[in-house]
Amino acid sequence: MKNRRSVPLPSKLSPKKEKEVPLQGIWSGTISFSLVAIPVQLVKAVEPGRVSFRMLHNKDYSPLLRRMVCPEEGKIIPPEEIIRGYEIGPEKYILITDEELESLSPERSRTIEIVEFIATEDLDALYYDHPYYLVPLKGGEKAYRLLVEVMRRTNKAGLAKFVLGEREYLVAVKSRSGALSLITLHYSEEILPSEDIIPKTEESEAVEKSRLKKIIKAMTANFNPDKYADERRQKIVKLLEKKAKEKAPVEAPEVEEEEGEGAVDLVAVLEESMRKVKRGR
């Protein structure tokens, strides 16, 4: 994809082949199989390519943030004053704290225990939810590499369960180009049945099928993901480039920086920073 611009736009708009992004630790803990334990950190494996916009206040162009508001008072409520509640009746709630959630599966909130291995070809993409990478933490490099190599040689994936945040996931751990990838999976009870969709009969015209196969053969090629571009994204980028040339951007007023959104694990970030420090030393 060629990107011809006269006004330089931030790098997030310029498409790159398989992104190089700074790593963001989401979780850190241990991955284990039988008696081998490997300290690891969970990081993103995909970054959405959509052009992302911010909502602004049209009065002063100050960015808008998503916050929890008390509807009666119209006031923003800070995180320390917020608690999670499960509704058991009209305006009746059972309150659940973070510690109580974490203590539901204490062994699983810091450990991904691989309970069995399966052949990778048996893992149906129907179950795939979201992919991540695992990177080894200090001391775990050798055991990590062993697991990667052994899964590659046997063409297998590991199945495990682990808890992240409020949810417990079934995950597949796979080997990809020398790294471990972790894919969260849907539970089989979440997969909708398809029996009523599948045609009751397999009937087809033999002639049609043979013609079809000829066409398919003629259209067979090697898979190259770079061939396909997000057209909508390209159109939006063009639109933005045009705007950048025509008008100066508006400026938002200085705001005191708020605490970051999103539950990024402190420990994961520290471990990631530590890696960078050690590389520099």
Partner 1 sequence: MGKIAAVAGHRLSLSNLEKDLYPAYGFTKAHILEYYRRISPFILPHLQGRALTLKRYPEGVEREFFFEKRCPSHRPDWVATAEIAQTKGERLTFCLVNDLDTLIWVENLASLELHVPLARAASPATPDSLVFDLDPGEPAGILECARVSLILRDLLSQLRLASYVKTSGMKGIHVYVPLNRKATTFADTKKFSKAVAEVMQRNYPDLVTAKIAKEQRRKKVFINWSQNDAAKTMVCVYSLRAREKPFVSFTRTWEELEALAGRGDPEKFHVLPEEALRRAEKSGDLFRDLLVKKQQLPYL
Partner 2 sequence: MAGRAIWKGYIHFGGFQVPVKLHTAVKEERIQFHLLHRRDQVKLQQQMVCAYEKAPVPVEEQTRGFELEEGKYLLVAPGELAQAEPEDSRMIEVHEFVKSTQIDPIFLERVYYLEPDGPVKGYNALAGSLGEMDVEGICTWTMRKRSYVGALQMSGKMLRLNTLRYADEVISVQSLELEKTPLSEKELLIGVDLLKQMTAPFQPQKFVNEHRKKLQQLIDKKARGEKIVLLRPRRLKPTASDKLLAALEASLKKVA
Q: Name residues contacting partner 2, limited to 121-140 (CB under 8 A).
A: 122-128, 131, 133, 135-137, 139-140
Q: Name residues contacting partner 2, limited to 53-82 (CB under 8 A).
A: 53-72, 74, 76-77, 81-82
Q: In angstroms, what is the minimal distance from the CB of 28 to partner 1?
A: 9
Q: Which of the choices partner 1, partner 2, none does residue 181 contact, using the CB cut-off of 5 to 8 A by kind?
A: partner 2
Instruction: Decide whether 252 or 274 has the Cβ nearer to partner 2.
Output: 252
Instruction: Decide whether 111 or 181 has the Cβ nearer to partner 1.
Output: 111
Q: Name residues contacting partner 2, limited to 189-248 (CB under 8 A).
A: 189-194, 196-199, 201-205, 208-209, 212-213, 215-223, 225-232, 235-236, 239-240, 243-244, 247
| Sequence-separated (6 or more) residues with CB below 8 Å from residue 99 | none
Cα distances from 125 to residues 27, 46, 65, 130, in angstroms, run 24, 17, 35, 11
For residue 252, state whether it binds partner 1 (rule: CB under 8 A). no
Cα distances from 221 to residues 12, 30, 224, 225, 226, in angstroms, run 31, 41, 9, 12, 14
Q: In angstroms, what is the minimal distance from the CB of 263 to partner 1?
A: 9
Question: How far is 160 from 146, CA to CA, in rounded Å?
Answer: 18
Q: Name residues contacting partner 1, limited to 100-139 (CB under 8 A).
A: 137-138
Q: In angstroms, what is the minimal distance from the CB of 89 to partner 2?
A: 10
Q: Which of the choices partner 1, partner 2, none does residue 260 contact, using the CB cut-off of 5 to 8 A by kind?
A: partner 1
Q: Is the dihedral of CA 270, 276, 280, 281 positive or negative?
A: positive
- Output the CA angle 21-12-58, nearest 5 degrees: 130
For residue 184, state whether it binds partner 2 (rule: CB under 8 A). no
Cβ(160)–Cβ(106) below 8 Å: no
Q: Which two tokens stand for residue 70?
A: 């008390």
Q: Which two tokens stand for residue 114?
A: 């691989």
Q: Which of the choices partner 2, partner 1, none does residue 38 contact, using the CB cut-off of 5 to 8 A by kind?
A: partner 2
Q: Name residues contacting partner 1, limited to 16-45 (CB under 8 A).
A: 39
Name which position in 205, 254, 260, 261 contacts partner 1 (CB under 8 A): 260
For residue 183, state whether it binds partner 1 (rule: CB under 8 A). no
Name which position in 75, 242, 243, 276 contacts partner 1 (CB under 8 A): 276
Cβ(183)–Cβ(171) below 8 Å: yes
Which is nearest to 22 in space by CA: 44, 54, 49, 48?
44
Question: How far is 70 from 67, CA to CA, in rounded Å?
Answer: 10
| Sequence-separated (6 or more) residues with CB below 8 Å from residue 195 | none
Q: Which residues bind partner 1 (CB under 8 A)?
A: 39, 137-138, 257, 259-260, 264-267, 269-271, 273-274, 276-278, 280-281
